Structure 1
Amino acid sequence: MNSIDTPAMNEASIADYLLQHPEFFERHAEMLTSVQLSSGHGQRAVSLQERQAEMLRDKIKGLEQRIMEMVRNSSENSAIAHKIHRWSCALAAVSDVRQLPHAIAEGIQKEFDVPQVGIRVWGVAGPYLGSMFTMGVSEDAKAFATSLTMPFCGPNLGFEPTAWLPKPDAVQSLALLTLREGPNDSQSPAFGLLVLGSTDPLRFDATMGTEFLSRIAEQASAALGRLRVMPAGN
């Protein structure tokens, strides 16, 4: 007896039979149009062929949406990379080393539309001691900066570095970027901290990606390394 006629037949055995015997539909082609299924787009009944076509259209639509999302993300990433490049070129053009912290903060505000930016650097060469960008940093803040192995993003929790921003009380979310020699995820001691603040509580969310923030930290660290070297002629 053929397995398709077995009384104790279940759905799994039916499915297995049809997979093993595709010629079944050739012998019973009328079933493709006579079998009625519920449509995925309403309560009306459709044929098996129509239902398959609906499923295929839905799958194609899903793939199209994924492709569009990938294209959009690629375009956004390209735009951000271009801004970082332009900002880096501007920093390289700064001849007065004392102006670097200001140029970094101003560039981030302009290129990345960040409302508030604060920066502090320590361990600088003698001629730069006492500059505004070196003042108001506790040992705890320095230790905290060193402890960060990646940019911190989240709500304003009252961290000391928030006070370095022009209007700290208006900040709802912030990003803290450690400045250090070498890769931003290294264990080398921090020599500074970059603070980005926004009135938007979701601008710097804890779940956001930090790759571009890490690149910003590395570029700022490379530029500010000049503050740690004694100027020529001294």
Structure 2
Amino acid sequence: MSQEAKNVKAEQRVVDDSLIADYLQENPDFFERHPELLQVMRLRHQERGAVSLVERQQTVLRQRIAQMEDEITELMTTARRNEELFTYYSELYVNLLKCHSLSEVMDCLEDTFAKQLNMPALSLKFFDSPLELAEQFTFAADTHKQLLSKRFAGDSIYLGRLTADEQRLLFPQETIASVALLLLGDQGELGMLAIGNHDASHFEPAMDTLLVKQLQALLSMLLPPLLAHHDIS
């Protein structure tokens, strides 16, 4: 048989198979009306050789059930993790409202992120504050302006990775792979909270920002009175 003839035959077989497949999809009760066919049909199985259609359907069904069980388990694990996160953040909000100084604010943040959420690095810094703040709360000169222009083009939250220079600016004592950066204030003019993680995939642009936005809003309201009253101990 010539190659051309083989190609024509293969094309005809594909067309025929397609028609049969379409018919079976449109008539899912076909084998109910012809049960005798189920016993004579054979399908190749990778491990068991030729098996009946019924056996093959049972195998596929068992595999699908196992897959669905894995998916349900994964969803339940995610749900439990989300519930834990919500609880930690809720407790943090309440504790922040009790703070009377920046050091107390930092203690609350570190208790939640470092101890409960295993975030090894945290940085809270203010822009152009007239107060004599401790070095940990300030940027040197205008070193932060390039970071602001690069990471906050159209949003007040940045999730992702930083350059080596940006890491040193925010976390001079830590090697951080991914961060959440939150601008504070009505227009992001007050300062920045930076949360760092060693896992490069922990903070990603596509992740949900509901909890960090709530934290951003609370800090933006809480911090100005503390600065205004010079309570920076």
Give TM-score scaled by structure 2 length: 0.73
Are 2:185 and 2:191, in contact at CA under 8 Å, matched by a contact in 1?
Answer: no
Distance 2:144 2:49 in 1: 66
Which range is displaced more, 76-85 or 98-107? 98-107
CA offsets 1:8-38 (integer angstroms, 9 cap, x no match): 9812333344456667545642211111101
Q: Identity across aligned pairs (percent)? A: 20
Distance 2:28 2:171 in 1: 71
Q: What is the correspondence of 1:65-76 to structure 2 with a 5 Å cutoff?
A: 65-76=70-81
CA offsets 1:167-223 (integer angstroms, 9 cap, x no match): 14xx131414223235xxxxx23311122334x343645466252444443333333
Is 1:48 matched with 2:53?
yes
Alignment length (residue pairs)? 213
Q: Identify the residue that residue 183 of structure 2 maps to in structure 1.
A: 179
Q: Residues 102 and 229 (structure 1 numbering): CA distance in 2 closer, same or farther, change over 3 Å?
A: same
Q: Identify the residue that residue 43 of structure 2 maps to in structure 1.
A: 37
Q: Which amino acid aligns with 1:130?
A: L
Distance 1:15 1:162 in 2: 61
Distance 1:118 1:21 in 2: 64
Which range is displaced more, 103-112 or 27-36? 103-112
Name the SS of the counterpart of 2:165 in structure 1: coil
Distance 2:133 2:28 in 1: 84
Q: Identify the residue that residue 217 of structure 1 maps to in structure 2.
A: 216
Q: Identify the residue that residue 165 of structure 2 maps to in structure 1.
A: 158
Give TM-score scaled by structure 1 length: 0.72
Are 1:179 and 1:220, in contact at CA under 8 Å, matched by a contact in 2?
Answer: no
RMSD: 3.3
Q: Identify the residue that residue 15 of structure 1 maps to in structure 2.
A: 21
Q: Residues 44 and 225 (structure 1 numbering): CA distance in 2 closer, same or farther, change over 3 Å?
A: farther
Q: Identify the residue that residue 115 of structure 1 maps to in structure 2.
A: 120
Extract structure 1 runs of 4+ deviating beyond 6 A: none
Are 1:118 and 1:165, in contact at CA under 8 Å, matched by a contact in 2?
Answer: yes
Tell me the CA shift for residue 130 of structure 1: 3.4
Q: Identify the residue that residue 130 of structure 1 maps to in structure 2.
A: 133
Are 2:159 and 2:205, in contact at CA under 8 Å, matched by a contact in 1?
Answer: no
Q: Identify the residue that residue 167 of structure 1 maps to in structure 2.
A: 173
Gaps of 5+ in 1: 1-6, 183-187
Gaps of 5+ in 2: 1-11
